Structure 1
Amino acid sequence: MLTRLGTFVVRFRLYIILFWILLLIPAFYASTHLHNVLQGEVTSAKGGEMYRQEALLNKEFPEQYLYNILIVLKSTQNKVEDPVYSQLIERYIKVAQSVKGAAPPVSFQQDPSMLSQDHRNTFVYIGLEARNYKDADVLALHLTEALRKVELPKGFEMRLTGGPLFGREITTVSAKDGFNTEKRILPIVGVVLIFAFGGLVAAGLPLLMGMMSTLLTLGILFILAHFLEITSLSQNIVSMLGLGVGIDYSLLMVNRFREELFDKGYGKEEAAIRTVESAGRTILYSGTVVSIGLIALLIPNVVFMHSLGLSGLLVVFVTILLGLTLLPAVLSLLGDRINTPRRLVRMAKEAWGQKRFWYQWARYIMSRPLFFGIVSIGMLVCLSLFTLEMKLWNTTIRIMPDSMETKQGFERLLDIDGKYKFAPIIVTFSTKDKSPIWLEKNLRDAYSFMQAVQNQEPIISMVGLVNTSQPLDAHLPLYNTIAGYGGIANMRFFQPAVSLPYISQDESQGALVMYHAFDGYGITESSADMNTIRDIREFRDQVATHFPNLEIMVGGMSAIPVEMQDAIYDNFPFIVIMTVIVTYLLTMFSFGSILLPLKAVFLNLLSVTATYGCMVLVFQKGFAAHILGIDVLPEALMVVSPLILFCIIFGLSMDYEIFLLNRIREEYDAGADTEEAIAIGMEKTGGIITSAGLIMILVFLGFAFARLIVIKEFGLGLAIAIFIDATIIRLMVVPALMKLFGRANWFLPKFLDIPILRKALKD
């Protein structure tokens, strides 16, 4: 199959090159406009209780605003009672009232808690009538443009914050971080490639392929983002994998082409076809293994994970497609011009031409395999032990970059008001018989439940359908009046101004918001919030029989980390087992061995746990954290990081294993004994794998200096994993263990040797 593909590509190379060039034009436009259609941090777990509750509030409670904008004002000279201050607030309110879709603003005049003690700081709350994130994002953008036109008097500061604005700013920051990282890293990568190949053309091709795979994938995401929820961090994943894997695979293809052209003496067209046959098979298999891990990210029913998994799959697919079509087409045209300028190539060969180094290194390791095997594996085990101390947390706005306006505004909010108001728990009640929630028997059940909850949990206050700080009898006059009118609809006919935002349109459901003693913006508070949510839900399930007519849901912002963590880690064991089994079977049939895949899977898992241990050292214990620009130490890892890193690392860690084992197997099949095959395989791949590993490390490490902590974790984690894989594992563990295994390396029971499958994988 690959032979036919290579022949087809060489035959129609000009058309193929033209096709990809034409695709770059719309891709460039789409990639530059991608940030306008991304959706910030889409962290909801679909199907979870909070997700269902949010859908209920959106549908049945039109006066409940799930999205909002807050205008945070600060004055160094004036108090809110001063005319200049009160007139400024009034101007903002009038602007908000003039924007369609903005709810009536609420200020300190309606809620005195929105005013600081010195009366110099305050904020205005504006609910958004949008029923979904996309509409809220558009409305928030329109509203903020209008609000920014209000002129600030001297001595005043204004900050805008709120969910949609935070999501949009995250998108902007992640896009800028990606662009700045590429700007810093690409020149360094170019220098490494020149040292690796010695030629400007040979060095430029992998760089070009990496940039093209990134650009084309971002263009595809632009289209998909109009139909799917794509998180802003997807563009960083695409940049990381696009540059890292794109350059990695192209490096292998170019190196093999030069070998076929100059060492074996084939013509440029035949060399390109043979490159597709050999190196093409390697990158196809490697990309498949990487994709297995990325597919696993689609298993948890979390939008954020789906978005990153899909983005990763797309960039790997595009990279493979470019490597099997565009790159060999270009190579078949270049021929020996791949070594332009030739003088530079000769200089590089004279400086780096000691190929026997890797052969001698392999022989040295194999001379003391037990020692090097124990030492290298022992190092990884020691690092892995720190994984036992791992803590998890969900990101909060307070760990975001100080330069973000939404963070600045939010921190001023906390100075103005009690911290409890910004991570409330929402409780909804639905009557199973569809009777009005305001009937006394339903109210008594709701009140009794909340009273029991308050006796067990650190609840500060509540507002809504019921309020346990007041006796039940204090609630009954209003609800008896509703009953006297025959329902809210009839009551509004006589009293149009009546507002009951905590009762649904069909009157069979009610809601309340309760504020608890933890704010959820630090590690301790976040864990306490999660425990509170879980405790209330567990208590509700235990006493459900006491409230037979009520369906009670517990959600709100505090439930996000709970449901994300449950959705992710309930599936984690299955994901690990599935990834390991599928990778093992694919590797076993490809290499015709039961022992080599077992070694590869074991070392991959060890590489992942050692990476986790290093992450704990940096992000929990603060080792070298200042070098990465971490001012506020999280003291834990992001709740999404371990699974995402596992899925990506497990696939990437197979890359160099595959490159090396392919060449070792080729030599073994050509008649070399196991030791000689290992030594020659390392000799032929040592330089290229070292260069590829260094490039990947540089690319990923560049993202470790991003401003967003989650990108720092991804970048550093991937860089550490590639370093471990390309040095400790590939240089010491693999040759040592293969020497110890001897002929057992190639053992495959006859009942597992399926000729058709083996031929299909080889072709």
Structure 2
Amino acid sequence: MLDKLAALVTVRRKLVLVLSLLFCVVAGGLGASVTTKLSAGGFDVPGAESTRAADTLSERFGTGEPNLVLLVTAPDGVDEAATVRKGEELTGRLAAEPGVQEAVSYWTLGKAPSLRGAHADSALVLAHIEGDEDQVGRYLEQIRPHYQDGFEGLTVEFGGRAEANRELGDQIQKDLVLAESLVLPLTLILLVFVFRGVIAALLPLALGVVAIIGTLAVLRLLTEATDVSVFAMNLTTGLGLGLGIDYSLFVVSRHREELAAGATVSEAIATSLRTAGRTVLYSAVTVALSLSALLLFPMYFLRSFAYAGIAVVAFAALSALVLLPALLAVVGERVNKWSWSRRGSEPAGNRVWSRLAAFVVRRPVPMATGAIAVLLLLGSPFPGIRLNLADERTLPADAEAHRVNTVLLHDYAAREMDPLLVVADGSGAPRGRTADIDAYARRLSALDHVSRVDGLTGSYADGRPIAPATAFHRRYAAENGTWLSVVPAVDPYSDEGQALVRDVRTAKAPFEVRTAGKASAFRDTLDALTGRMPYCLLLIAVTTFILLFLLTGSVVMPVKAIVLNLLSLTATFGAAVWVFQEGHLRWLTGDFTVTGGIVATTPIMVFCLAFGLSMDYEVFLLSRIKEEYDATGDTARSVVRGLERTGGIVTAAAALIALVFLSFLTSGITHMKLLGLGLALAVVVDATLVRGVLLPAFMRLAGRFNWWAPAPLARLHRRIGLKEGGG
């Protein structure tokens, strides 16, 4: 198949280039508007208890968790008579804004102490804007201009989830421009150094650009059918450029190697596709299947990374197998033009990798022991990982939502922005059940870590009433139901906050209830992630095993690859915990706010992406080792020869893709920094310690057992396994 493709592309090279250019024009026009269609949310679990409760609050009660907070600062103090009048007027105007279902404040709630700052110079206005993240964002864009310059002498600052999502979208756009302006010229310089020539160095960038353009078009089409997260843009540019470089590096290096051996351009292209091209195809399938595991999770934030990643892999592989051979056919012998080296072989020193491989093969046990010790040391912080959700603290410290959140944490005692909302829809006419509501509110207020409970019958604390029912408390009733607000005294992401969710959900209630709010949503997120994670691991393990078996005919090599990848990723996660959870190396990664935890979805993204990229190098290296073994039957010699011929390419590919991912550290968003550092570290560790030390040491110790498979599977591989077809 690849021989026929090589012949077709070589003969029809001009047509391929014209069609590719036409595709870029059409796809570029289609994908140009994608940023206006992407969403900043996607962390909630569809169908979970917290999600259904939040929907009920909005639809039946016209309220919900406060997703917009105005921090109002008064120069004369918030209790001065003129300030009280202005505060009430501000609250009323905000409540009348489009999309605002409800707005309350320190002044409209009878000067509630929890809504006044510690120095009495600021107070809060809390509002709920209806709709999903996109609708909330559109309403907020209409609201902000009315208050961002203040209100009758009062200083007004915006915070809350709605404002944080708006700023996240803006920050992503800034981050992309900055990262691309840095990574593109640096990548080109490194490519010139790797290929020792300008023409060959430009080819990988061309493939990366095509992969990015095609993926943006796919994402734009997907926005017509489903929600897509704005964070998919980062992965599109990073992975598109990285895989475009990776795949073209494999093919171009083999092509130049064949030319140096005396092959014609057509023969070199054919051999390159039959060998490196086959590796690219296998690698693309492996990476795509690893990323497809993200589709198992219900949150569209994670699913969006699968959409972008699978599309990027497909376009990068297609470009490497179709567009790149056409470019090589047009360029011909000029691929080595403007080169200061006549060698057309791999771009790194063969002697270095040959000597390293020979050294490891002679001393497999101490080398493997040392490498494993290093990985375990790096991974030692991993057992202490703590998880949370993305909030205002993931933004830069000078972002408005982040500043407001900091003031709330330091100057306001109760966590009014993080209530646990208890919804009892369909419980009957609430005014006929005031005794039940009163008893239930008392019971909830007596729970540990509860600051206050508000409901139809008044406000409660420590198991007793603290305020009678007023006109404000009527908001807790609807025609056939009621709800209560449980204000916590602890962080919703802490162990105590999660214990409170459990206690509220299991507390004896006179009617059926569901809970919403930040703490409840976090509990449902953790349940969804842990519930789907075994299936994610199983899918990746099974597909990896099948693909590597088809490549090698061995059942040992797939198991070895899975174990080594897991060991490598443990080191990656340990380093991520040490840096981002414990707050080390902020001078190197760019300053960020240490929250004492890691956004729960990020480790899953890192795992699926890093596992796929690790298999990328695994396939490339094993393919070359297997080619040598089929020719010689000598495992030790094949390992040395395989590393000699591919070690430099793997190192160069890892350095290039690590550079792309390290550009994420310029992001102002903490979990994007973590994603970039995690992927860069995973790639570097895999290409050095794992592929350079552990893999050859293991293969030397296993000997001929490397290629063992039970007789039935061996016969199956002879029938359907991939053969090199001549190299």
TM-score by length of 2: 0.90
- Please tell me the residue identity of whatever aligns with 1:372: M
1:439 aligns with 2:437: no
1:535 aligns with 2:503: yes
**Residue 264 to residue 500, structure 1, CA distance change in 2 (3 Å):** farther
Q: Report the Cα offset of residue 251 of structure 1.
A: 1.1
1:333 aligns with 2:330: yes
Alpha carbons 2:3, 2:274 under 8 Å: kept = yes
SS of 1:202's equivalent in the other structure is: helix
1:390-539 equivalences under 5 Å are 390-414=385-409, 417-431=412-426, 435-440=428-433, 443-467=434-458, 469=460, 500-504=474-478, 507-520=479-492, 526-537=494-505, 539=506
1:688 aligns with 2:649: yes
**Residue 602 to residue 350, structure 1, CA distance change in 2 (3 Å):** closer
Alpha carbons 1:615, 1:717 under 8 Å: kept = yes
State the partner residue of 1:238.
Answer: 236
SS of 2:431's equivalent in the other structure is: coil
State the partner residue of 1:122.
Answer: 123
1:198 aligns with 2:196: yes
Alpha carbons 2:625, 2:638 under 8 Å: kept = yes
**Alpha-carbon distance in 2 for matches of 1:446, 1:420:** 23
1:356 aligns with 2:355: no
**Alpha-carbon distance in 2 for matches of 1:172, 1:23:** 29
Q: Report the Cα offset of residue 361 of structure 1.
A: 2.5
SS of 1:421's equivalent in the other structure is: coil
Alpha carbons 1:34, 1:218 under 8 Å: kept = yes
Q: Report the Cα offset of residue 695 of structure 1.
A: 0.8
With 74-83 and 676-685 compared, the bigger mean Cα shift is at 74-83
After superposition, what is the alpha-carbon deviation per residue over 1:453-479, rounded to whole angstroms, capped at 9, x for unaligned? Answer: 33233322222334463999999999x
1:722 aligns with 2:690: no
Unaligned runs of 5+ in 1: 479-496
After superposition, what is the alpha-carbon deviation per residue over 1:513-539, rounded to whole angstroms, capped at 9, x for unaligned? Answer: 12121143xxxx6332122112222x2
**Alpha-carbon distance in 1 for matches of 2:260, 2:591:** 49
**Residue 672 to residue 751, structure 1, CA distance change in 2 (3 Å):** closer
After superposition, what is the alpha-carbon deviation per residue over 1:88-128, rounded to whole angstroms, capped at 9, x for unaligned? Answer: 76886687577543457544431323444655433444443
Alpha carbons 2:253, 2:344 under 8 Å: kept = no
With 462-471 and 654-663 compared, the bigger mean Cα shift is at 462-471
**Alpha-carbon distance in 2 for matches of 1:473, 1:378:** 59
Alpha carbons 2:602, 2:671 under 8 Å: kept = yes
1:573-612 equivalences under 5 Å are 573-612=534-573
After superposition, what is the alpha-carbon deviation per residue over 1:552-583, rounded to whole angstroms, capped at 9, x for unaligned? Answer: 11221221211111111222233223322321
State the partner residue of 1:571.
Answer: 532
**Alpha-carbon distance in 1 for matches of 2:374, 2:447:** 48
1:311 aligns with 2:285: no
Alpha carbons 1:580, 1:601 under 8 Å: kept = yes
1:619 aligns with 2:620: no
Count how many residue pairs are aligned between Structure 1 and Structure 2. 720
TM-score by length of 1: 0.86
With 718-727 and 642-651 compared, the bigger mean Cα shift is at 642-651
State the partner residue of 1:302.
Answer: 299
State the partner residue of 2:595.
Answer: 634
- Please tell me the residue identity of whatever aligns with 1:641: T
Q: Report the Cα offset of residue 761 of structure 1.
A: 7.8
Q: Report the Cα offset of residue 69 of structure 1.
A: 3.6
Cα RMSD for the two superposed structures? 3.2
State the partner residue of 2:161.
Answer: 163
Alpha carbons 2:457, 2:473 under 8 Å: kept = no
**Alpha-carbon distance in 1 for matches of 2:442, 2:629:** 75
1:675 aligns with 2:676: no
State the partner residue of 1:482.
Answer: none
State the partner residue of 2:211.
Answer: 213
- Please tell me the residue identity of whatever aligns with 2:291: L
**Residue 437 to residue 743, structure 1, CA distance change in 2 (3 Å):** same
Alpha carbons 1:429, 1:553 under 8 Å: kept = yes
Alpha carbons 1:701, 1:719 under 8 Å: kept = yes
Question: Percent of aligned pairs with the same residue?
Answer: 28
Q: Report the Cα offset of residue 508 of structure 1.
A: 2.2
1:145 aligns with 2:133: no
SS of 1:469's equivalent in the other structure is: strand
**Alpha-carbon distance in 2 for matches of 1:101, 1:331:** 57
**Alpha-carbon distance in 2 for matches of 1:755, 1:238:** 35
**Alpha-carbon distance in 2 for matches of 1:381, 1:712:** 23
- Please tell me the residue identity of whatever aligns with 1:143: I
Alpha carbons 2:441, 2:453 under 8 Å: kept = no
**Alpha-carbon distance in 2 for matches of 1:269, 1:195:** 26
SS of 2:422's equivalent in the other structure is: strand
Alpha carbons 1:447, 1:472 under 8 Å: kept = no
State the partner residue of 1:40.
Answer: 40
Alpha carbons 1:690, 1:726 under 8 Å: kept = yes
**Alpha-carbon distance in 1 for matches of 2:348, 2:609:** 34
**Alpha-carbon distance in 1 for matches of 2:452, 2:466:** 16
State the partner residue of 1:74.
Answer: 73
With 375-384 and 194-203 compared, the bigger mean Cα shift is at 375-384
**Residue 532 to residue 632, structure 1, CA distance change in 2 (3 Å):** same
With 369-378 and 249-258 compared, the bigger mean Cα shift is at 369-378
**Residue 359 to residue 337, structure 1, CA distance change in 2 (3 Å):** same
**Residue 27 to residue 529, structure 1, CA distance change in 2 (3 Å):** farther
Q: Report the Cα offset of residue 296 of structure 1.
A: 1.4
**Residue 17 to residue 509, structure 1, CA distance change in 2 (3 Å):** farther
**Alpha-carbon distance in 1 for matches of 2:92, 2:102:** 10
Alpha carbons 1:35, 1:172 under 8 Å: kept = no
SS of 1:634's equivalent in the other structure is: coil
Q: Report the Cα offset of residue 132 of structure 1.
A: 2.7
1:99-114 equivalences under 5 Å are 99-103=97-101, 106-111=104-109, 112-113=111-112, 114=115
State the partner residue of 1:2.
Answer: 2
**Alpha-carbon distance in 1 for matches of 2:474, 2:310:** 48
Q: Report the Cα offset of residue 399 of structure 1.
A: 4.5
Alpha carbons 1:271, 1:332 under 8 Å: kept = no
**Alpha-carbon distance in 1 for matches of 2:472, 2:77:** 36
Q: Report the Cα offset of residue 602 of structure 1.
A: 1.2
State the partner residue of 1:490.
Answer: none
**Alpha-carbon distance in 2 for matches of 1:632, 1:643:** 21
State the partner residue of 1:758.
Answer: 720
SS of 1:297's equivalent in the other structure is: helix
Alpha carbons 2:360, 2:696 under 8 Å: kept = yes
**Alpha-carbon distance in 1 for matches of 2:150, 2:580:** 42
1:52 aligns with 2:20: no
- Please tell me the residue identity of whatever aligns with 2:691: R
Alpha carbons 1:106, 1:125 under 8 Å: kept = yes
- Please tell me the residue identity of whatever aligns with 1:134: D
- Please tell me the residue identity of whatever aligns with 2:477: I
- Please tell me the residue identity of whatever aligns with 1:48: A
Q: Report the Cα offset of residue 194 of structure 1.
A: 0.8
After superposition, what is the alpha-carbon deviation per residue over 1:672-714, rounded to whole angstroms, capped at 9, x for unaligned? Answer: 5222222221121122111111112212222134221111211
After superposition, what is the alpha-carbon deviation per residue over 1:338-363, rounded to whole angstroms, capped at 9, x for unaligned? Answer: 12214x344x8899775333223322
SS of 1:585's equivalent in the other structure is: helix
State the partner residue of 1:659.
Answer: 620
Alpha carbons 2:257, 2:345 under 8 Å: kept = no
**Alpha-carbon distance in 2 for matches of 1:498, 1:613:** 49
Q: Report the Cα offset of residue 744 of structure 1.
A: 1.6
Alpha carbons 1:257, 1:271 under 8 Å: kept = yes
